[in-house]
Amino acid sequence: MMAGNGTIVVGVDGSASSVDAVRWALEEARKRGAEVHVVTAWHTDPPPMEGPPPMVGIPYRARESALAEQQAQQDRVMAEAQGDGVTVHRHMVEQWPPRALVQMCADADLLVLGRHGHSWLTEKLLGSVTAYCVRHAACPVVITPARRTAKEQAPHLVEAPATPGPLY
């Protein structure tokens, strides 16, 4: 990957947060005059183990069906993000996603990832692509915030007395 006016790598996994990450990367590329490399990493083998083994089995998928599924997800994300006026290169990488992203951004100016908003426990049990990339990427990493659900966006009304009660 060559860094001309700038290179921004963005990880895409088909989620709503990856759509937001692509949109952010495209807007940033417009400002910088940079190009965007959209990376979807996929694999059929279980990921390398770091820490305790997962509590659930990881099902094996045929290579062709895994690739087709990931390509369809990347196509959907790109159609939803709709970037105009920016050079976009799309990559399908057969590798464990965190390592693929770190390798793809080795010569980049920026790596952009979407945050899924998993709980601490989920990230500890399943791992976190974002955490791995933040630790190992050779360039700055931007993490776009997770989308808030309708319940989270609803105003929270808290009833409080008009006068304070005892302070003990």
The pLDDT of residue 3: 44
Q: What percentage of residues in the chain have a pLDDT greater than 70?
A: 67
What is the mean pLDDT of the segment spanning 61-68? 83
* Reported pTM: 0.73
Asked whether residue 110 is domain-assigned, the answer is: yes
What is the mean pLDDT of the segment spanning 91-100? 93
- Domains identified in the chain, total number: 1
* 37-46, 116-125, 137-146: least confident range: 116-125
List the CATH number of the domain containing 99. 3.40.50.620
Domain containing residue 122: 7-45+60-146
The pLDDT of residue 9: 98
Asked whether residue 152 is domain-assigned, the answer is: no
The pLDDT of residue 123: 56
Asked whether residue 18 is domain-assigned, the answer is: yes
Write out pLDDT tens, residues 10-62.
Answer: 999 988 889 999 999 999 999 999 999 999 998 776 655 566 665 555 555 67
Asked whether residue 163 is domain-assigned, the answer is: no
Asked whether residue 121 is domain-assigned, the answer is: yes
What is the mean pLDDT of the segment spanning 113-125? 65
Asked whether residue 168 is domain-assigned, the answer is: no
What is the mean pLDDT of the segment spanning 104-112? 96
DSSP state string for the chain: ---SS-EEEEE--SSHHHHHHHHHHHHHHHHHT-EEEEEEEE-SSPPPP-SSPPSS------HHHHHHHHHHHHHHHHHHH---SS-EEEEEEES-HHHHHHHHTTT-SEEEEE-----HHHHHHH--HHHHHHHH-SS-EEEEPPPPPHHHHSPPP----SS-----
- 126 has a pLDDT exceeding 60: no
- 142 has a pLDDT exceeding 80: yes
Asked whether residue 53 is domain-assigned, the answer is: no
- 78 has a pLDDT exceeding 50: yes
Asked whether residue 95 is domain-assigned, the answer is: yes
